[in-house]
């Protein structure tokens, strides 16, 4: 994916419409076109990266700050009871638009959304084994 054929880059460039709700030097936030709940929006870095694992850490920091502010607005202005933040990286995780983005999803008591995973019982050795591979050396 390059900037030239990226949907979200075209929104940043003003070549495609979006309902923008927040902007700073590094980030843009706009309403999701197919919202999961009332107020569902997306925060993106203005600079293109395909997904969160490939982004400049400074861009992720700026997106996180923007997402926190929007989560606060969801509670104080929309009356949300909670907020879910999520980013899917790569198709296996469910990513469909290949420009890094954080979903800010206001949650309301009884909104019917499901958790994105089913908790599994696995033995402690398996958790230890993945922990070893995930740890700082
Ligand atoms: P993903 O599945 O990659 O995590 O999320 C992509 C999100 O982008 C989806 O929630 C989808 O509704 C949203 N989306 C796709 N195309 C557009 C668009 O043209 N404009 C806006 N505002 N959102 C879009
Ligand atoms: Zn892009």
How do residues 74-124 score in pLDDT, each as one tens digit?
999 999 999 999 999 999 999 999 999 999 999 999 999 999 899 999 999
Domain residues for the domain of 37 are: 3-134
What tokens were used for 42? 């997306």
Judged against a pLDDT cut of 80, whether residue 60 lies above it is answered with yes
The residue nearest atom 13 of ligand 1, judged by CA position, is: 32
Q: What is the pLDDT of residue 137?
A: 77
Q: Are 77 and 104 in contact (CB under 8 A)?
A: no
Q: Does residue 94 have its Cβ closer than 6 Å to ligand 1?
A: yes
Number of structural domains found in the chain:
1
Q: Which of left, alpha, beta for 108 (phi over 0: left; psi -120 to 50: alpha)?
A: beta
Q: Does residue 74 line the site of ligand 1, with CB under 6 A?
A: no
CATH of the domain at 95: 3.30.428.10
Is pLDDT above 80 for 1?
Answer: no
pTM here is: 0.97
Concerning whether 101 is annotated as a catalytic residue, the answer is yes
Cβ(45)–Cβ(62) below 8 Å: yes
Round to whole Å and give the CA distance between 3 and 99: 9
């Amino acid at each position: 994916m390059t900037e030239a054929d990226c949907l979200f880059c075209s929104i940043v460039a003003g070549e495609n419409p979006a309902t923008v709700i927040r902007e700073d030097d590094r980030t843009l936030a706009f309403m999701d076109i197919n919202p999961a709940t009332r107020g569902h929006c997306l925060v993106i870095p203005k600079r293109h990266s395909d997904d969160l694992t490939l982004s400049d850490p400074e861009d992720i920091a700026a997106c996180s700050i923007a997402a926190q502010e929007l989560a606060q607005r969801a509670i104080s202005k929309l009356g949300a009871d909670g907020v879910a933040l999520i980013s899917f990286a790569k198709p296996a995780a469910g990513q469909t638009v290949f420009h890094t983005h954080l979903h800010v999803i206001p949650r309301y008591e009884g909104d019917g959304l499901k958790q994105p995973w089913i908790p599994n019982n696995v033995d402690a050795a398996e958790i230890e084994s993945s922990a070893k591979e995930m740890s700082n050396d």
